[in-house]
């Protein structure tokens, strides 16, 4: 009787241990925090994966989040050598009179472009935004057209800009998804300019103003990006943080206060870092496989990637990733470098997380007449 009881206890322990292994093996991810906002998301910078999303394609007024694109366009002009940080910009009356947040530049005076850029990024100066727009394009409406051209190029499908400041206009709108796309491009394309977003204060004309992004004081991993507020837009914040080489971008639009947008953004970032991780699986140019090539002097052709591959997945699941290669049935010379000849699928528990093309890493020309004829015979009987 006692032996039977002990045996049952032993078996029960074994069952619990087995179940414990299973439960530990399956990361339980709770629902993300509910945010009182019109629209919000979190996106991984490297993989582009959306970890949280709510109404992300709803067209909304962006207020001063507009200035992310204003700075992006200016950074592009700097990179192309069309303007310089040391340029002296003459301030027009229109720029001086622009309402809303201000850098306090003065009409008729010249201001270094570098100072104006700081005035836009840190102080959110509408006057500085107009001054930069006029300097780059001659007029603000022309600059707005340039902003839209960049938005189209980046794939921002539900965005239209009519000014450089974000001041209210019926035809001036964007979405959380489009802002995440823009933020990703900004950080990737112009990292030197992006560094200015982490500066907490800037003094111009003996007037010190603080960066409106409260997360710069609350979270050392946060290094940007931009706040915005109008009565129509509510309180908005696009933030970015980097922890252990994992960079996230959060977008929060339409909250009801300065603290609300900061708390919402912090909650979304903390949740995403707690339950997800990002890994770089491959680098551009990596060899994935070598396969048979027909009608060539070479026996094989090398297939690989032309891009870095990142994966964002629930924490603790990295070791369970499975790369699956699919190769074209017959690869026949000639093949040009960069031609797609297969696919690489990254799977987790039979779910495909991402699919990327496998490309020829080198060109392979036709082989000798003998090799071509020999392979022709082989192919006939395949």
What DSSP element (H or E) covers 136? helix 126-137
The 10s digit of each residue's pLDDT in 169-220 is 999 999 999 999 999 999 999 999 999 999 999 999 999 999 999 999 999 9
Q: Please report, for residues 72, 285, 309, 327, the alpha-carbon distance to residue 247 in angstroms, rounded to integers and kept in the order given.
A: 19, 23, 15, 33
d(CA 316, CA 139): 53
Q: What's the confidence (pLDDT) of residue 4?
A: 52
67 has catalytic annotation:
yes
Query: Which residue numbers in the chain have pLDDT < 70?
Result: 1-27
Among residues 47, 124, 129, 240, the one annotated as catalytic is: 124
Whether the link from the prior residue into 225 is cis, omega within 30° of 0, is yes
Predicted local confidence at residue 1, as pLDDT:
47
Query: What is the distance in angstroms between the CA of the first residue and the CA of the last residue of the chain?
Result: 69
Q: State the Cα–Cα distance between residues 343 and 125, nearest whole angstrom.
A: 48
The CATH class of the 39-277 domain is alpha beta
CA distance 136 to 84: 11
Residue 4, both tokens: 């039977």
**Helices 113-121 and 67-79: angle between axes, nearest 10 degrees:** 150
Gap between the Cα atoms of 253 and 238, Å rounded = 8
Determine whether 64 is an active site residue: yes
In order of 284, 305, 306, 330, 345, the CA distances from 337 in angstroms are: 14, 11, 11, 17, 21
Q: In the chain, which residues fall in CATH 2.60.410.10?
A: 283-380
Where does 263-299 show beta strands of DSSP type E? 276-282, 287-292
Q: What gap in Å lies between CA 145 and CA 140, rounded to an integer?
A: 9
Give buried/exposed letters for 283-314 (b at 16+ CB in 10 A, else e).
eeeeebbebebbbbebeebbbbbeeebbbbbb
Three-class secondary structure of residue 282 per DSSP: strand
361: Cα separation from own chain's centroid: 27
pLDDT for position 5? 46
CATH architecture of residue range(s) 283-380: Sandwich (2.60)
Per-residue CA distances from 61 to 18, 164, 319, 348 (Å): 53, 13, 43, 39
Is 164 a known active-site residue?
no
Question: According to the model, what pLDDT value does residue 60 have?
Answer: 98
* Residue range(s) of every CATH 3.40.710.10 domain in the chain: 39-277
**pLDDT the model gives residue 23:** 34
Whether the Cβ atoms of residue 174 and residue 158 lie closer than 8 Å to each other:
yes
The pLDDT of residue 331: 95
Residue with tokens 């394609």: 57
- The residue to which tokens 């709108």 are assigned: 173
Contact 327, 287 (CB under 8 A): no
Question: Average per-residue pLDDT in the chain?
Answer: 93
For 213-244, the pLDDT digits (tens) are 999 999 999 999 999 999 999 999 999 999 99
Among the listed residues 38, 39, 47, 64, the single catalytic one is 64
The Cα 98–Cα 103 span in angstroms is 11
What is the Rg, in whole angstroms, of the alpha carbon atoms belonging to the chain?
27
Select which of 67, 214, 226, 295 is catalytic.
67
Under 8 Å between Cβ of 87 and 167: no
Quote the pTM value.
0.90
Tell me what pLDDT residue 26 has: 57
Which are the contacts of 267, defined by CB distance < 8 A and separation ≥ 6? 33, 35
Q: Which residues are within 8 A (CB) of 342 and not within 5 positions of it... i.e. 6 or more apart?
A: 289, 291, 303, 325, 326, 327, 328, 357, 358
Q: Which pLDDT score, from 0 to 100, does residue 19 have?
A: 40
């Amino acid at each position: 009787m006692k032996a039977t009881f002990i045996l049952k206890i032993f078996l029960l322990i074994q069952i619990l241990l087995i179940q414990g292994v299973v439960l530990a093996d399956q990361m339980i991810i709770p629902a993300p925090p509910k945010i009182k906002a019109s629209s919000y998301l979190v996106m991984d910078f490297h993989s582009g994966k959306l970890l949280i999303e709510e109404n992300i394609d709803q067209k909304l007024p962006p207020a001063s989040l507009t200035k992310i694109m204003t700075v992006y366009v200016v950074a592009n002009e700097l990179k192309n050598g069309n303007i310089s940080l040391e340029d002296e910009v003459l301030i027009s009356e229109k720029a001086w009179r622009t309402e809303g947040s201000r850098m306090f530049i003065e009409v008729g005076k010249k201001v270094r472009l570098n100072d104006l850029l700081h005035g836009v990024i840190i102080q959110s100066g509408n006057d500085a935004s107009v001054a930069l727009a006029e300097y780059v394009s001659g007029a603000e409406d022309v600059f707005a057209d340039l902003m839209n051209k960049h938005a189209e190029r980046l794939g921002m499908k539900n965005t239209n800009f009519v000014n450089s400041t974000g001041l209210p206009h019926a035809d001036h709108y964007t979405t959380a998804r489009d802002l995440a796309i823009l933020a990703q491009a900004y950080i990737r394309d112009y990292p030197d300019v992006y560094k200015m977003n982490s500066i907490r204060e800037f003094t111009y004309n003996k007037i010190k103003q603080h960066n409106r992004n409260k997360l710069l004081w609350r979270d050392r991993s946060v290094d940007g990006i931009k706040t915005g507020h109008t009565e129509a837009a509510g309180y908005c914040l696009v933030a970015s943080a980097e922890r252990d080489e994992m960079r996230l971008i959060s977008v929060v639009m339409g909250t009801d206060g300065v603290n609300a947008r900061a708390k919402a953004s912090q909650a979304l970032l903390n949740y995403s870092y707690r339950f997800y991780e990002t890994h770089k699986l491959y680098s551009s140019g990596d060899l994935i496989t070598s396969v048979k090539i027909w009608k060539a002097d070479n026996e094989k052709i090398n297939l690989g990637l032309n891009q870095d591959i990142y994966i964002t997945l629930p924490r603790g699941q990295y070791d369970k990733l499975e790369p699956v290669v699919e190769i074209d049935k017959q690869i026949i010379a000639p093949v040009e470098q960069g031609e797609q000849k297969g696919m690489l699928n990254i799977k987790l528990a039979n779910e495909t997380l991402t699919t990327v093309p496998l490309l020829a890493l080198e060109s392979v020309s036709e082989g000798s007449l003998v090799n071509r004829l020999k392979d022709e015979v082989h192919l006939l009987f395949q």
